[in-house]
Structure 1
Amino acid sequence: MKKVALSALAAAMISGVASADALTLYSDPKTGQVFTTPGQGRVEMGDFISAKDVDMQVRDLESKNSEYQDKMSKYVNVKSKAKTLEFSGTHYFGLTSASPSTLNTNAGAGVTSSYPGTSSGFELRRNYLQVKAYFNDKDYFRVTMDTTKEIGADETKRAGYANMYAKYAYLYLDKVLPYTGVEIGIAHRPWIDYEEHNAWHYRSFNKVVLEEKNTRTETGVDLVNSADLGVNFQTKTDAFSSEIGIFNGEGYHADKAAANQASDSKLSLEWRLTGHILGDGTKVGKNDRTKDTYANISTYGLISKNHKDDDTDLQGTLSPNEYDRSIYGLHAVYNQPEFLIAGQYFTAKDDKRTKDVATTFDTKDYKGWSINAEYRPIKDWTVIGRYDNYEIEQELNGAKNSRIKGDKIIAGLGYNYSKNVNFIASAKFADEKDELVAAKVNDTGASKDVYMLTTEVKW
């Protein structure tokens, strides 16, 4: 049996590999004689190599197979009930310098300055480690773990979120309805992920306008974040796509309120509806903006009853930090390989649920707009620009007690080092004032200049 196997291997090698020692043989059908040269009446039999050469090549193959087996024996076997495991990672590392426009001139004995000086340091702005366990070609369970360390975090709360936590943990089932799949668990909320994958691709150094908070490096409205416990139905067709979900409402990293419905059972209804003017709605979120051309118009919104602040200590139905929130917005984006331009307008409202409980506002109204663009003048280089403008007006006991107006300019230059690594230099100039507060020349403490060097890594 071994000789037969080796002979078959030798035959395969003879037929597949041209050898310098190959010899062409000829036979005379009448006499049966074999010759090494062609002649009249002789028929070519084919190319042959010596048994010695066959043995040498067989031994070489056996040696390579042994080396391969030795190498594979050093790997650890991975066992799973899933059909396929897909591992990936996304990492944003940066150097940041944030300078406030003003310091607290009212600080005195026993008063701590609320406007700290320049903050500089290295940041791990996002460190995502992800695995998808596929049960078939479409259905899977996804877990994304995140570790973040930012100089802009609020020291009194998450202290830079140094601990690892689950950003996503959901089951995805494809086509539970026509053209529609569903995420169940800590899932995508309908808006943020869409904007970050179709219009504003630079979460590595600045959030989208609805998510940006007031920290040492950020200034904004802080209305919604990217993930929450709930269900999200996702529909995709060429001309239309949508996401409609029901969630707890506070987001995936709210310290005390995200998964706590103890004081109420009301949930948050959230949606995105998108028309794809040039088609390819089935590729939403997966377009290559350096190659594809697309034009999308979207409307999005949120109605969240019994919404709570991230750091709320739940106090039953009379908590001063419980309110109803609504958001409505319009967004458009156009992209072609040379450039991208996108813009949006939004309004939002917070309405305190317990007017008889002391707090800083009874109602809070938001409105704002944002526009961003990319220009790609030469291969691998991108010029980035963005402008945000917003207003937040508060009312307490029938009178306006705060009217904050803010805007920011963002500029950046990106270099695509490879398909896995990008480098970005950026600057942000944010200005925010309260028109109804005279102290400190109306400065809210949020005005600042921020400079960042960023490395994006994806694998």
Structure 2
Amino acid sequence: MKKVALSALAAAMISGVVSADALTLYSDPKTGQVYTTPGEGRVEMGDFIDAKTVDLQMRDMESKGSEYQEKMKKYVNVKSKAKTLEFSGTHYFGLTSNNYGSENYNGGDKSTGFELRRNYLQVKAYFNDKDYFRVTMDTTKELESSTTYATMYAKYAYLYLDEVLPYTGVEIGIAHRPWIDYEEHNSWYFRSINKVILEDKFSVAAGASGASKNVGPDVLNSADLGVNFKTKTDYFSSELGIFNGEGYHADKAANNQQNSSDLSFEWRLTGHILGNGTKVGKYKRDQDTYANISFAGLSSKNHKDNSVVVDDAAEYDRNAYWFHFVYNQPEFLIAAQYDVSKDEVQRTNAETKLKMWSVNAEVRPFQDWTVLARYDNLKTEYSNDATKNANDVGDADQFIYGIAYAYNKNVNFILSGKTVDAKDKSAFTRVDATTTTLGDALDKQSYMLTTEVKW
């Protein structure tokens, strides 16, 4: 280390000496005499410094080399077989106030508290300029979550190999599923305040005897064990994946493969009307103009909810598809989608179909400021239960609105609100034994103050 440091300093200091104190010499090829001035027939020999100056400079260099060594003692050596290690983080911290229930029963329940909605710590180990292994660890605690505080788990852990096929790379491991990451990086940029509609649970109501009910699609999440082929060209991009099917944080549902060899096939096909498909996922929404139209979906056999045990009668097949459009220019964004999801219970053939549509928009009236809004509509149809259909079980509207300020390139502040209007007219018993309709219990008004940090 010392020799390396001294060599670096020597190069710098000697170059400084040559430029400042050098003496240019000339020689006469015929006589061999050396001169300090140019003249007829004389050839320049180069720049020279005297031995005394070199000795003084070397002593100064050694002194500075010692100072360099002292500074280096403050750092820790990192050893890796990777060519490059890239560290990053994403953090969503917020204060949330929730008000549940309609005025029909004294305004319902209330809760206020701080949330750690996302806390990603990530490292990419690059083997060359494009191939890498990524690990993303997450600790999350939301106000309504029942999980242990700050439980850490692996959100992503996959190998990425570039150009395994023309214009196509592949993720292998706990990888991106084809849809959620696309929507969050191209049309709905505010994951810190709310999930996209397909992943969302609009509202949750606590009931008697520990029972709880929720409304919201909750069709898929963002990552799962499997492989995902990602293609990018100017006018077309796609993701084609095969996964276990229940997602990266499933509990009992993770046992799906214990009694089945069925997997989930998932896809996204996107046309880029303005020809900038190679930038998908890396757009700068306040600078770029793009227009994308997508068709996506999944076919998941032998699916299970997180609460379902292996070999349970509630195992079902899930098939879903959706269409999505987004247009963005520096001044505004508009996006819309229509989604259909159908679950068919294997042992009874009973079907539950979700039909939903969502539209969201941004307006950027001033530099660093964004006004945002979103509307979600959900309808649920039951093939063998007329009572549920009559009571509008599973039907709901959701409104999201807010204003965001980009403090700098790393920090955003967002003030937002959310209103859930649940339509369910069936009876529901609250924790305090009060009986109301489930729609009243699931009605919700939330206000959030959010800090986003990315580095």
Asked if structure 1 preserves the Cα contact closer than 8 Å seen for 2:13 and 2:61, the reply is no
Distance in 2 (CA, whole Å) between partners of 1:87 and 1:285 is 19
Give, in angstroms, the shift of residue 47 of structure 1: 10
Give, in angstroms, the shift of residue 422 of structure 1: 1.1
DSSP 3-state at the match of 2:185? helix
Aligned twin of 1:94 = 94
Aligned twin of 2:80 = 80
Task: Tell me: CA distance 1:11–1:255, structure 2 relative to 1, closer, same or farther (3 Å).
Answer: closer
Q: Any idea what the Cα deviations from partners look like across 1:355-409, whole Å, max 9, x if unmatched?
A: 29xxxxx321111111111111121111111111111223436765552321111
1:131 equivalenced with 2:119 (yes/no):
no
Asked if structure 2 preserves the Cα contact closer than 8 Å seen for 1:140 and 1:173, the reply is yes
Q: How does 1:439-458 map to 2 (within 5 A)?
A: 440=436, 443=439, 445-458=441-454
1:387 equivalenced with 2:383 (yes/no):
no
Asked if structure 1 preserves the Cα contact closer than 8 Å seen for 2:203 and 2:444, the reply is no
Aligned twin of 1:233 = 229
Aligned twin of 1:354 = 347
1:343 equivalenced with 2:336 (yes/no):
yes
Q: Which of 261, 264, 268 matches 1:265?
A: 261
DSSP 3-state at the match of 2:141? coil
DSSP 3-state at the match of 2:17? helix
Q: Which of 323, 332, 346 matches 2:325?
A: 332
Aligned twin of 1:323 = 316
AA aligned opposite 2:96: T
DSSP 3-state at the match of 1:434? coil
Q: Which moved more, 1:59-68 or 1:115-124?
A: 59-68
Asked if structure 2 preserves the Cα contact closer than 8 Å seen for 1:140 and 1:171, the reply is yes
Q: How does 1:393-412 map to 2 (within 5 A)?
A: 393-396=381-384, 400-401=388-389, 402-403=391-392, 404-412=394-402
Q: Which of 308, 312, 321 matches 1:312?
A: 308
Q: Which of 107, 126, 145 matches 2:137?
A: 145
**Identical residues among aligned pairs (%):** 62
Give, in angstroms, the shift of residue 145 of structure 1: 0.7
Distance in 2 (CA, whole Å) between partners of 1:243 and 1:7 is 53
Give, in angstroms, the shift of residue 434 of structure 1: 1.5
DSSP 3-state at the match of 2:182? helix
Higher helix fraction: Structure 1 or Structure 2?
2
Distance in 2 (CA, whole Å) between partners of 1:252 and 1:373 is 30
Give, in angstroms, the shift of residue 68 of structure 1: 2.0
Give, in angstroms, the shift of residue 76 of structure 1: 2.2
Task: Tell me: CA distance 1:400–1:125, structure 2 relative to 1, closer, same or farther (3 Å).
Answer: closer
Distance in 2 (CA, whole Å) between partners of 1:8 and 1:295 is 53
Q: Which of 409, 413, 417 matches 1:419?
A: 409
Give, in angstroms, the shift of residue 233 of structure 1: 0.9
Asked if structure 2 preserves the Cα contact closer than 8 Å seen for 1:338 and 1:375, the reply is yes
DSSP 3-state at the match of 1:64? helix
Distance in 2 (CA, whole Å) between partners of 1:280 and 1:233 is 19
Distance in 2 (CA, whole Å) between partners of 1:414 and 1:446 is 27
TM-score normalised over the length of structure 2: 0.84
Q: How does 1:6-45 map to 2 (within 5 A)?
A: 11-16=14-19
AA aligned opposite 1:268: S
DSSP 3-state at the match of 2:293? strand
Asked if structure 2 preserves the Cα contact closer than 8 Å seen for 1:24 and 1:45, the reply is no
Q: Any idea what the Cα deviations from partners look like across 1:25-55, whole Å, max 9, x if unmatched?
A: 99999998879xx9xxxx9999999988876
Aligned twin of 1:109 = none
Asked if structure 2 preserves the Cα contact closer than 8 Å seen for 1:229 and 1:259, the reply is no
Aligned twin of 1:300 = 296
Aligned twin of 1:111 = none
Distance in 1 (CA, whole Å) between partners of 2:252 and 2:355 is 28
Task: Tell me: CA distance 1:13–1:414, structure 2 relative to 1, closer, same or farther (3 Å).
Answer: same
Give, in angstroms, the shift of residue 82 of structure 1: 1.7
Aligned twin of 2:184 = 196
DSSP 3-state at the match of 1:260? helix
DSSP 3-state at the match of 1:198? coil
Task: Tell me: CA distance 1:24–1:321, structure 2 relative to 1, closer, same or farther (3 Å).
Answer: same
Give, in angstroms, the shift of residue 216 of structure 1: 5.0
DSSP 3-state at the match of 1:152? coil
Give, in angstroms, the shift of residue 445 of structure 1: 2.3
AA aligned opposite 1:434: D
Distance in 1 (CA, whole Å) between partners of 2:169 and 2:120 is 24
1:378 equivalenced with 2:373 (yes/no):
no
DSSP 3-state at the match of 2:252? coil
Asked if structure 2 preserves the Cα contact closer than 8 Å seen for 1:119 and 1:216, the reply is no
Give, in angstroms, the shift of residue 200 of structure 1: 0.4
DSSP 3-state at the match of 1:313? coil
Distance in 2 (CA, whole Å) between partners of 1:364 and 1:200 is 27
Give, in angstroms, the shift of residue 151 of structure 1: 0.7
CA RMSD of aligned residues (A): 3.4
DSSP 3-state at the match of 2:259? coil
Q: Which moved more, 1:291-300 or 1:57-66?
A: 57-66
DSSP 3-state at the match of 1:365? strand
Distance in 2 (CA, whole Å) between partners of 1:429 and 1:274 is 31
Give, in angstroms, the shift of residue 74 of structure 1: 3.0
DSSP 3-state at the match of 1:278? coil
1:281 equivalenced with 2:286 (yes/no):
no
Task: Tell me: CA distance 1:52–1:164, structure 2 relative to 1, closer, same or farther (3 Å).
Answer: same
AA aligned opposite 1:202: F
Distance in 2 (CA, whole Å) between partners of 1:444 and 1:310 is 26
Give, in angstroms, the shift of residue 118 of structure 1: 1.0
DSSP 3-state at the match of 1:275? strand
Task: Tell me: CA distance 1:79–1:262, structure 2 relative to 1, closer, same or farther (3 Å).
Answer: same
Q: Any idea what the Cα deviations from partners look like across 1:239-259, whole Å, max 9, x if unmatched?
A: 100011111111111111125
Could you tell me which runs of 5 or more consecutive residues in structure 1 were left unpaired when the two chains were aligned: 107-114, 357-361
DSSP 3-state at the match of 2:64? helix
AA aligned opposite 1:13: G
Asked if structure 1 preserves the Cα contact closer than 8 Å seen for 2:27 and 2:34, the reply is yes
AA aligned opposite 1:198: N
1:432 equivalenced with 2:422 (yes/no):
yes
TM-score normalised over the length of structure 1: 0.83
